[in-house]
Chains A and B, each alone.
Chain A
Amino acid sequence: MSRKTTDRLATGTIYAFVGVVVAILCGLIGYILITGIPDISWHFLTSAATAFTAGGGIRDQLFNSLYLLLLTLVISFPFALGCGIYLSEYAPQNWVTGLLRMAIEVLSSLPSVVVGLFGYLIFVIRFNLGFSILAGALALTFFNLPILTRSIEEALQDVPNLQREAGVSLGLSNWRTITKIVLPIALPGILTGIIISAGRVFGEAAALIYTSGQSAPTVDYGNWNFLSADSFLNPMRPAETLAVHIWKVNTEGITPDAVAISAGASAVLIVIILIFNVGARFLGQRLYQHLTASKSK
Chain B
Amino acid sequence: MKKGKIFSALIAVTITGGLLASCGSSNAKNASSAKASPTKITAVGSTALQPLVEQAAKDYQNKHSNVTINVQGGGSGTGLSQIQSGAVTIGNSDIFAAQQTGITASKLVDHRVAVVGMTPVVNRDVTVKNLTMAQLKAIFTGKVTNWKQVGGKDEKINVVNRAQGSGTRATFEAAVLKGAKALKAQEQDSNGTVQKIVSSTPGTISYLAFSYVNKNIKALSIDNVKPTATNVTTNKWQIWSYEHMYTKGQPNAATQKFLNYIDSKQVQNGLVQKLGYISVHDMQVTKNAAGTVKQQ
Residues of A within 8 A of B (CB): 51-52, 71, 74-79, 81-82, 120, 125, 128-131, 134, 176, 179-180, 183-184, 209-210, 213-215, 217-218, 226-227, 229, 234-236, 238, 248-254, 258, 290-291, 293
Cα distance, A184 to B9, chains bound together (Å)? 13
How near does chain A come to B30, taking the closest CB pair, in angstroms?
Answer: 10
B134 within 8 A of A: no
How near does chain B come to A185, taking the closest CB pair, in angstroms?
Answer: 11
Q: Are B275 and A253 in contact (CB under 8 A)?
A: no
B42 within 8 A of A: yes
B288 within 8 A of A: no
Considering only residues 275-290 of chain B, those with a C-beta below 8 Å from chain A are 275-276
Q: Are A51 and B55 in contact (CB under 8 A)?
A: yes
Q: Are B25 and A131 in contact (CB under 8 A)?
A: no
Interface string of B62-105 (1 = CB under 8 A from A): 00000010111110001000000001000000000000000000
Cα distance, A77 to B14, chains bound together (Å)? 7
Cα distance, A215 to B53, chains bound together (Å)? 11
**Given A77-B18, A227-B31, A258-B192 contact (CB < 8 Å):** yes
**Given A209-B73, A234-B28, A251-B192, A52-B4 contact (CB < 8 Å):** no
The contact size tier of chain B is 35 or more
Q: Are B11 and A251 in contact (CB under 8 A)?
A: no
Contacts of B78 in A (CB 8 A): 210
* A226: nearest chain-B partner, CB-CB: B28
Contacts of B42 in A (CB 8 A): 130-131
How near does chain A come to B41, taking the closest CB pair, in angstroms?
Answer: 12
Q: Are B4 and A180 in contact (CB under 8 A)?
A: yes
Residue from B29, B193, B211, B212 with most neighbouring chain A CB atoms (10 Å):
B29
Contacts of A79 in B (CB 8 A): 18
Q: Are B48 and A252 in contact (CB under 8 A)?
A: yes
Q: Are B4 and A253 in contact (CB under 8 A)?
A: no
B251 within 8 A of A: no
Listed by A's residue number, 29 A-B pairs whose Cβ atoms lie within 8 Å are A51-B55, A52-B274, A78-B11, A78-B14, A78-B15, A78-B17, A82-B15, A129-B25, A130-B42, A131-B72, A134-B21, A179-B4, A179-B8, A180-B4, A183-B11, A184-B7, A213-B72, A215-B70, A217-B68, A226-B28, A227-B31, A250-B192, A250-B193, A251-B191, A251-B192, A252-B50, A252-B190, A254-B212, A291-B6
Cα distance, A75 to B7, chains bound together (Å)? 18
Q: Are A75 and B274 in contact (CB under 8 A)?
A: no
Q: Are B25 and A254 in contact (CB under 8 A)?
A: no
* A216: nearest chain-B partner, CB-CB: B54
Interface string of B209-234 (1 = CB under 8 A from A): 00110000000000000000000000
Contacts of B32 in A (CB 8 A): 227, 229, 236
Q: Are B72 and A238 in contact (CB under 8 A)?
A: yes
Contacts of A251 in B (CB 8 A): 47, 190-193
Q: Are B74 and A210 in contact (CB under 8 A)?
A: yes
Cα distance, A254 to B3, chains bound together (Å)? 55
Q: Are A291 and B51 in contact (CB under 8 A)?
A: no
B38 within 8 A of A: yes
Considering only residues 246-296 of chain B, those with a C-beta below 8 Å from chain A are 274-276
Contacts of B4 in A (CB 8 A): 176, 179-180, 291
Contacts of A238 in B (CB 8 A): 70, 72
Cα distance, A244 to B170, chains bound together (Å)? 27
Cα distance, A249 to B74, chains bound together (Å)? 15
Contacts of B211 in A (CB 8 A): 254
Cα distance, A209 to B189, chains bound together (Å)? 15
Q: Are B58 and A218 in contact (CB under 8 A)?
A: yes
Cα distance, A227 to B264, chains bound together (Å)? 35
How near does chain B come to A189, taking the closest CB pair, in angstroms?
Answer: 15
Which residue of the partner chain, among A125, A134, A209, A290, contacts B87 with CB atoms under 8 Å? A125
Q: Are A71 and B21 in contact (CB under 8 A)?
A: yes
Q: Are A217 and B70 in contact (CB under 8 A)?
A: yes
Q: Are B72 and A214 in contact (CB under 8 A)?
A: yes
Cα distance, A248 to B193, chains bound together (Å)? 11
Q: Are A74 and B87 in contact (CB under 8 A)?
A: no
* B196: nearest chain-A partner, CB-CB: A250
Supplied contacts A75-B21, A215-B70, 8 more A-B pairs, CB within 8 Å: A52-B55, A75-B22, A78-B19, A184-B3, A214-B50, A217-B70, A235-B21, A254-B275
How near does chain B come to A171, taking the closest CB pair, in angstroms?
Answer: 14
